[in-house]
Amino acid sequence: MTDSISTLETLLGDRHSCRAYKTEQVPRAIIDRILNAAQKTASWCNSQPWQVTITSGEATKKFRDVLYPVAAAGTPNSGDFPFPREYRGVYLDRRRESGFQLYNTLGIARGDKTAYAEQALQNFNFFGAPHVAIITSDEALGVYGAVDCGGYVNNFMLAAQALGLATVPQAALAFHAAVVRKHFGMSDDRRVVCGISFGYPDREHKVNSYRTSRAGLGDVATFVE
Ligand SMILES: Cc1cc2nc3c(=O)[nH]c(=O)nc-3n(C[C@H](O)[C@H](O)[C@H](O)COP(=O)(O)O)c2cc1C
């Protein structure tokens, strides 16, 4: 029991969003192991709404070659799920803090909007990851289908972490949902929740050197006795 929680705490503590990768491909058996673990995710009525499309090798490059120009051209976001209406209060503070951590680590000056935009575009290079997983849900399941997919994304990331891989979940890859659907021949009723770029981490790259903070329990938990 104690060992299980220690293992989980280690995985949760070590996982972070990785934004620089080695080019080495992940063997199919390892990817299958991640997917088999993530299949254990709970979902409402056990509907298991997630479908996952995974690119490797040339397929990752081809996807990049389709998506990157769309983003680089400044095409307005048209994701299947509404973009957050507003980051306010502590949510804005946390968003800013994590953004500045990224920019400071990369030596990007505060207010350098051109550099911010260039860095944001790296999403569409998948931060150099050799693989991308696109997670979709069924249109009819609405918000709860997306909630179930969120659980799947986390379990995918923890399984990958346990296997020595690194990941970054990316809502950015859902910004141009119609392009994603068309490229992969997905049916119209699939809703693009997000992507996960993954592979072996480049631990030497400075972008992977910082860790984000978390609020304390006093900020999130209410105990009623
Ligand atoms: C649903 C979701 C979408 C995200 N989208 C992006 C994204 O588009 N680009 C990106 O660089 N990071 C993205 N992230 C990563 C978050 O910025 C990151 O999880 C957060 O700052 C906490 O840092 P950590 O993952 O290193 O613990 C996303 C995370 C989640 C859970």
55 assigned to some structural domain:
yes
Measuring from atom 6 of ligand 1, which residue has the nearest CA? 170
| CA 55 to ligand 1 centroid distance, Å | 20
Lining ligand 1 with CB less than 6 A are 16-17, 98, 123, 168-172, 194, 212
Please give the residue range of the domain that contains residue 199: 22-83+129-203
pTM: 0.98
Q: How buried is residue 133: exposed, middle or buried, by Cβ count under 10 Å (0-12/13-18/19+)?
A: buried
Residue 105 lies in a domain: no
Please indicate, yes or no, if residue 74 is contained in any of the structural domains. yes
Where does residue 155 rank: exposed (0-12), middle (13-18), buried (19+ CB within 10 A)? Answer: middle
Please check the confidence at residue 2 and state whether its pLDDT lies above 90: no
Q: Which pLDDT score is estimated for 215?
A: 98
The pLDDT of residue 1 is 57
Question: Whole-number mean pLDDT of the chain?
Answer: 97
pLDDT surpasses 70 at 15: yes
Strand pairing of 166-170 and 131-138?
unpaired
Distance between CA atoms of 52 and 180, rounded to whole angstroms?
12
**Cβ–Cβ under 8 Å, residues 146 and 81:** yes
Q: Answer whether residue 44 is part of any domain.
A: yes
* Residue 180 pLDDT exceeds 70: yes
With cut-offs at 50, 70 and 90, classify the pLDDT of residue 220. very high
Distance 224 CA to ligand 1 centre (A): 31
CA torsion sign, 87 to 157 to 120 to 183? negative
Write the pLDDT tens digit of every residue in 69-87.
Answer: 999 999 999 999 999 999 9
**Whose C-alpha lies nearest to ligand 1, atom 10?**
170
The pLDDT of residue 79 is: 97
**Mean pLDDT over residues 175-191, rounded?**
98
CATH number at residue 52: 3.40.109.10
The count of domains in the chain is 1
**Domain annotation covers residue 149:** yes
- Whole-number pLDDT of residue 124: 98
Say which DSSP state 169 is in: E
**pLDDT value at 166 more than 80:** yes
Q: What average pLDDT does the segment 5-30 reach? A: 98
Q: Answer yes or no: are the C-beta atoms of 131 and 55 closer than 8 Å.
A: yes
Could you tell me if residue 220 is inside a domain?
no
User: What's the burial of 205, exposed, middle or buried (CB within 10 Å: 0-12/13-18/19+)?
Assistant: middle
Q: CA distances (Å), 111 to each of 86, 99, 104, 115, in order?
A: 20, 11, 12, 9
Query: Would residue 10 count as lying in a domain?
Result: no
Question: What is the mean pLDDT of the segment spanning 117-126?
Answer: 97
pLDDT at 68: 98
User: Which residues partner with 194 through β-bridges?
Assistant: 135
The four Cα atoms 183, 187, 191, 196 give a dihedral, to 10 degrees, of -40
What's the N-to-C CA distance of the chain in angstroms? Answer: 27
What does the pLDDT average to over 37-48? 98
Predicted confidence (pLDDT) per residue in 127-159, tens digit: 999 999 999 999 999 999 999 999 999 999 999
pLDDT at 48 over 90: yes
Q: What is the DSSP letter of 93?
A: H
